[in-house]
Amino acid sequence: MSFEIVSQARCFGGTQFVYRHASRETGTPMRLSVFIPPQAEKGKVPVVWFLSGLTCTEENFTVKAGAQRAASELGLILVAPDTSPRGEGVPDDPEGAYDFGLGAGFYVDATEAPWAKNYRMYSYLSHELPTLIGRELPADMMRQGIMGHSMGGHGALILALRDPNRFRSVSAFAPIAAPSCCPWGRKALSGYLGPDEKDWRGYDACDLIDDGARLPELLVDQGTADSFLESQLKPQLLEAACSRAGIPLTLRMQEGYDHSYFFIATFIEDHLRWHAKRLSL
């Protein structure tokens, strides 16, 4: 169950790794990107997870976000897992759509055939992979933060809401805030979990909040020029749910920014400093 090194490179005094391991939950090999800062040479350091969006692998955040410089300064391990199981025999959308199947695991544990055998991203990220990170790397698992983009923002929110004692800090870039209320989410949740919408509530951030889940606070950045803003992301629903629950939400509508990694790269340092402040407590 230990990590195999796929690649490594020195970066801002630390090391950028890509690892591979055999996953018990997905039944497949899984890859992840891990940046380890220079401070880890002297002891365990905090961990910030980044969950990526539709079509992405572990590579997108690693090569496009420009997060390593700030993480090196702040002494943060960055963990960026893949977005779905992959490999021979893993089912994909039969029509080749980008928003379901490979690259689109939606961070759920599927219950419907043929997806249930491999598409267990929730359990992979909530139990299996953190155990490996804590055992194999110089990671202080008592100080974890999580963030994500789009589908990954949805994943970060639900992981934190369902296990509030695990994460000290939570943020998101353009998250799919209410998947039960948008085409991407409804396709994924019905496909992976079946048609009964009651079974979707545990994977919808707004429903989780309305059902009693809480976070100490939340930071969200959303571009105003994002082409998915109104149809898929719906931050106003998250804002309303947080307001009803009394969750302090900082929602920053960033004028002129779209859904791309140029948007993420612009504000990633803000998010890492926000996490570092809360993980230093």
Question: Concatenated DSSP letters for 94-120?
Answer: TT--TTSBTTB-TT-B--STTTTTT-B
Predicted confidence at residue 115, as pLDDT, reads 98
pLDDT-derived band at 182, boundaries 50, 70, 90:
very high
Check residue 190 and report its DSSP letter.
H
What is the structure's pLDDT at 281? 65
pLDDT digits (tens, 9 = 90+) for 12-24: 999 999 999 999 9
Q: What is the pLDDT of residues 141-154, one digit of tens each?
A: 999 999 999 999 99
Domains of the chain, earliest start first? 4-279 (3.40.50.1820)
Mean pLDDT of 86-95: 96
Q: How confident is the model at residue 1 (pLDDT cuts 50, 70, 90)?
A: low
**For residue 7, what pLDDT band results from cuts at 50, 70 and 90?**
very high
Q: How far apart are CA 167 and CA 160, in angstroms?
A: 6
pLDDT, mean of residues 231-250? 98
Tens digits of residue pLDDT in 26-79: 999 999 999 999 999 999 999 999 999 999 999 999 999 999 999 999 999 999
Residue 55: what pLDDT?
98
Q: Which of 129, 162, 2 is nearest to 58 (CA)?
A: 129
Place of tokens 């960033």: 254
Side chain identity at residue 203, one-letter code:
Y
Residue-level pLDDT at 113: 98
Banded pLDDT at 197 (limits 50, 70, 90) = very high
Range 78-82 average pLDDT: 98
pTM of the predicted model, to two decimals?
0.97
Local confidence band at 181 (pLDDT 50, 70, 90 cut-offs)? very high
Per residue in 214-251, is it b (16+ CB within 10 Å) or e — as a string?
ebeebbbbbbeebebbeebbbbebbbbbbeebebebeb
CA–CA gap between residue 174 and residue 226 (Å, rounded): 8
DSSP letter assigned to residue 260: S
Q: To which residue do tokens 């805030």 refer?
A: 177
pLDDT tens readout for residues 209-239: 999 999 999 999 999 999 999 999 999 999 9
Residues tagged active-site: 150, 226, 259
Q: In 10 A of CB 149, how many CB atoms?
A: 30
